[in-house]
Amino acid sequence: MQDAPIARIEHGDDPYRWLENRDTEEVLDYLKAENAFLDAQMAPQAELRERLFQEIKGRIRETDLSLPSPWGPWLYYRRTTAGDEYPRHYRCPRPADGSLTLDEQAEQLLLDPNELAGGGFLSIGTLSISQDHARLAYSLDTEGDEIYRLFVKELASGEVTELPFEQCDGSMTWANDHQTLFFGELDDTHRPHRILRHRLGEAGASEVYHDPDGRYFVSCYRSSSERQLVILSHSKTTSEAWVLPADAPTAAPVCLAPRQEDHEYFPDHGVWNGEPCWFIRTNQDGINYALYRASEGQPTREHWQPLVPHDPQVTLEDASLNRDALILSLRENGLPVIEVRPAQADRYRLALPDAAYSLHVSDTLEFDSPTIRVRYEALNRPAQIRQLELASGAQQVLKETPVEGPFDPDAYVSERLWATAPDGTRVPISLVARRETLGQPAPLYLYGYGAYGHSLDPWFSHGRLSLLDRGFVFAIAHVRGGGDLGEAWYRAGKLAHKRNTFTDFIACAEHLITEGYTRPERLAISGGSAGGLLIGAVLNMRPELFGAAIADVPFVDTLNTMLNPDLPLTVTEYDEWGDPNDPQVHARIRGYAPYENVTAQAYPPILAVAGYNDSRVQYWEAAKWVARLRATRTDDNLLLLKTELGAGHGGMSGRYQALKDAALEYAFLLKVFAMAD
């Protein structure tokens, strides 16, 4: 069997810093050696990996059609075809009867990503139709580094023009003249720092807005009413918005409220009592947000009027606007709630069948539509697109993601459990398993994230069925640092409170063991990006509690990254982790950073995955972490590093490659748990 690669050690505080020397022969040879070692170690599972891949693929409807979206005179939709990595984008004339029936004889191919990818990496940043439906603006990343090239396609002739701009963030927003595009530019640290305006046929672009503060990301979007453009500059804690009419793209933007530290607000434009007006979601009254409105002619902060008051028990996560209703996306008791406030009827909340689920407004359709669409799914229920009649509240399932082959959702049990953290806080756990699996200790896959206020609402997975049907339990730890129980839950797991994220996760693991769902040697843990930091931290703290770990693009070299302001995104992260140039913050991050805290102890089997072109979490974070683990640990458990040399933060881009990645992960777990199949 091939020996594991041994990384050379440099003298100094960071013995593996040389792995940061990107594109050098030494570094590439080391990463390729790690990939070869993984291939050699997993070679006995080659047949199993292929079987898992075919099994997962067999549950997915490879040739399928998305639910058409009506807009103006057209229906827009996507087709997936067996064998193709990417869906193709189409449109056809909209039927006069208001149905969603496609006229395939008259359909028009808008974009074929399979042709554009040429077998390599491809990510579409934006795909946007002009308001007159004559042009398609789209942006492409072909490296995985999230730097995009911009294109405009004339839909009548098929002529494609590449716009002559570099360092673009991929965003493209049309003005109502069908000629002017607003797009974002990246600075040297990969931060979207300014918005530029370009008129088709003219040379160059003019600056509309620039934010020199390294903490802020700048973006541009159209309002729900299609009448206004919004430029938003947003840090992790503060925002500032500038607006201008979509009909007047050269007008000077107006600031709605000058930035004030810790004031976050998000404007949209719609209709109230038949009059056009602004709606502003703001935390000026409290951390759970309130909703204000302002007239179109007087949108600045001194004219804001309260519409939905702050509620200390319920978080207002979003507000969707429609001509006939206001749709509130709320979070209450750890679950998403949609409340509809029709213009001509009483307010109501959507009734749903499961105890734990994911729910969000997926498509408000046209602003004047009497309906909206929501996406609903649960751990044991495939995603559904439901149409909601705003006036009556009637729901209709328009499309459910198919599961090919034998599948009965009632064969799986979904539960919501509560663990108790060391400080007495109750931490929710979402769990799914086959009915016959529960009642005795089983192999269990525990997933976590816990950062940026991101909520891990339960989701369905075709691939996960391959684990559940082999006797696994799957669970999600809704730890602090995420937004699962609202803004206060997020704040209790960031900055000086970050350690709560790790102790919450450990408490969830202990609860699952104590309650008989699993045993330590059968407990696999997994997380990606900031969730990889979580995995690295808890492995250092309690390695004996876990039987295996998977860390995907893990943010494990936390301290060194946060000390380097020249790296992409570092300065913007100070509001999440703290600025380690402050000695007190330095000591705090140093106390939990996974890379620095690797010690001479036994660790469970670990699979780490990195993307060489990743601009968010550099490839060397996983590489340095694995190198230090190899040199320091006291065990000889399987330790694997896979670096995708042609991909970025999201891994390889094609849908089949994603299934192969899942097959590798599952084969790794079956191998280390000594489960033959």
Residue 427: name the closest of 510, 330, 530, 543 by CA. 510
Helix (H) or strand (E) holding 47: helix 46-59
Query: Cα separation of 211 and 234, whole Å?
Result: 10
Cβ-proximal residues to 118 (8 Å cutoff; 6+ apart), any chain: none
Q: Which class for 351: exposed (0-12), middle (13-18), buried (19 or more C-beta within 10 A)? A: exposed
Structure-token pair, residue 31: 């990463």
Query: Cα separation of 501 and 480, whole Å?
Result: 5
Helices (H), 404-555: 465-468, 487-491, 499-514, 530-541
Q: How many CA atoms lie within 13 A of 402 on its CB side?
A: 13
Query: Cα separation of 66 and 136, whole Å?
Result: 19
Cβ-proximal residues to 540 (8 Å cutoff; 6+ apart), any chain: 594, 597, 598, 599
Q: How many CA atoms lie within 13 A of 111 on its CB side?
A: 27
Alpha-carbon torsion, ordered 399, 400, 401, 407, to 10 deg: -150
Cβ-proximal residues to 638 (8 Å cutoff; 6+ apart), any chain: 41, 605, 606, 607, 668, 671, 672
Buried b (16+ CB within 10 A) or exposed e, 578-608: bbbeeeebbebbeebbbbbbbeeeebbbbbb
Furthest CA-CA distance within the chain: 75
> Which residues partner with 474 through β-bridges?
432, 445
Query: Cα separation of 134 and 168, whole Å?
Result: 23
- For the chain, the helix, strand and coil percentages under 3-state DSSP, each to the nearest 5: 25, 35, 45
Q: How many CA atoms lie within 13 A of 343 on its CB side?
A: 13
How many other C-beta atoms lie within 10 A of the C-beta of residue 444?
25
Query: Cα separation of 501 and 479, whole Å?
Result: 6
Q: Is 455 a catalytic residue?
A: no
Q: Is 11 a catalytic residue?
A: no
Sign of CA dihedral 311, 290, 329, 463: negative
Helices (H), 69-143: 113-117
Residue 505: name the closest of 472, 470, 471, 481 by CA. 481
Catalytic residue of the set 84, 324, 614, 661: 614
Cβ-proximal residues to 284 (8 Å cutoff; 6+ apart), any chain: 263, 265, 290
Residues 299, 243 contacting (CB under 8 angstroms)? yes
Catalytic residue of the set 511, 649, 653, 661: 649
Q: Is 430 a catalytic residue?
A: no
Residues 240, 233 contacting (CB under 8 angstroms)? yes
Residues 431, 415 contacting (CB under 8 angstroms)? yes
Catalytic residue of the set 123, 529, 615, 653: 529
Query: Cα separation of 541 and 499, whole Å?
Result: 11
Residues 126, 170 contacting (CB under 8 angstroms)? yes
The residues annotated as belonging to the active site are 529, 614, 649
